[in-house]
Structure 1
């Protein structure tokens, strides 16, 4: 089973400085401290960092609903960037919108450490078998 610790131990999460934590309700929240390496030319957090946070938060929410022999790969995303960020910490929480036999749809919101919403995104994920067999659910 893909677990949050498996994802968090990945090289890409480490590159971004992304971490997972539990909020007061026991839900998984991802966070990325803003560092200079994450800024684009104009001194704002690069949109790709925010997209990665949305992708990861949605994927975590979906993976938590899957059985031990399945995983999810992103096939499409849509993001609305609402405001720029220059410093602080970014947070994201994902949610499952639809979980089918071969596709899942998730969404995530990103906010800053002042509680302002930074972005909203949705994504479609292809469900895969981790055991090498067909991934469909009954």
Structure 2
């Protein structure tokens, strides 16, 4: 990947190609907290017609990443170094909303969590992630 392909910190996360492909958008991101939504359509389902767990995990990672990014200084970037997601309920088509916050912010390593809810407000997944500042 050359430098022209790397987005700088001023580029909104939801302008990344992966975010666009999944249909994720940032509702809010500031002070170590973020809200990210995803409109889950048929393109994100597995063979049984439910939303694929990978899409839900990506939403958790995206929301925690957006919360963490609100702490970055100019010239810094980040990388997920660990992600764990507990799937609590089958996910049907429709809007999913992830609310995330950073639990611990260190100089190089931060830890955050996200709750993912469906359009009825049911908690469908819970994720935690560790990020490294680069």
1:19 aligns with 2:30: no
1:2 aligns with 2:23: no
1:47 aligns with 2:49: no
- Secondary structure, in 3 states, of the residue corresponding to 2:74? coil
Deviation at 1:74, TM superposition (A): 0.3
Deviation at 1:22, TM superposition (A): 3.6
1:95 aligns with 2:101: yes
- Secondary structure, in 3 states, of the residue corresponding to 1:65? coil
- Residues 62-104 of structure 1: CA distance to partner in whole angstroms, max 9, x if unpaired? 1101212222100111111000111210000110011112111
Deviation at 1:107, TM superposition (A): 0.8
Alignment TM-score, normalising by the size of structure 1? 0.84
- Secondary structure, in 3 states, of the residue corresponding to 1:8? helix
| Alpha-carbon RMSD | 1.6
Task: Tell me which stretches of 4 or more aligned residues in structure 1 moved more than 4 Å.
Answer: none
Instruction: Find the counterpart in structure 2 of residue 56 from structure 1.
Output: 62
Instruction: Find the counterpart in structure 1 of residue 5 from structure 2.
Output: none
Count of aligned pairs? 124
Deviation at 1:28, TM superposition (A): 3.6
- Residues 6-36 of structure 1: CA distance to partner in whole angstroms, max 9, x if unpaired? 211110001001111149xxx6421111110
Distance 1:43 1:56, change over 3 A: same
1:68 aligns with 2:80: no
1:118 aligns with 2:124: yes
Alignment TM-score, normalising by the size of structure 2? 0.86
Gaps of 5+ in 1: 129-138
Deviation at 1:55, TM superposition (A): 0.3
Quick one: distance in 2 between partners of 1:22 and 1:63? 12
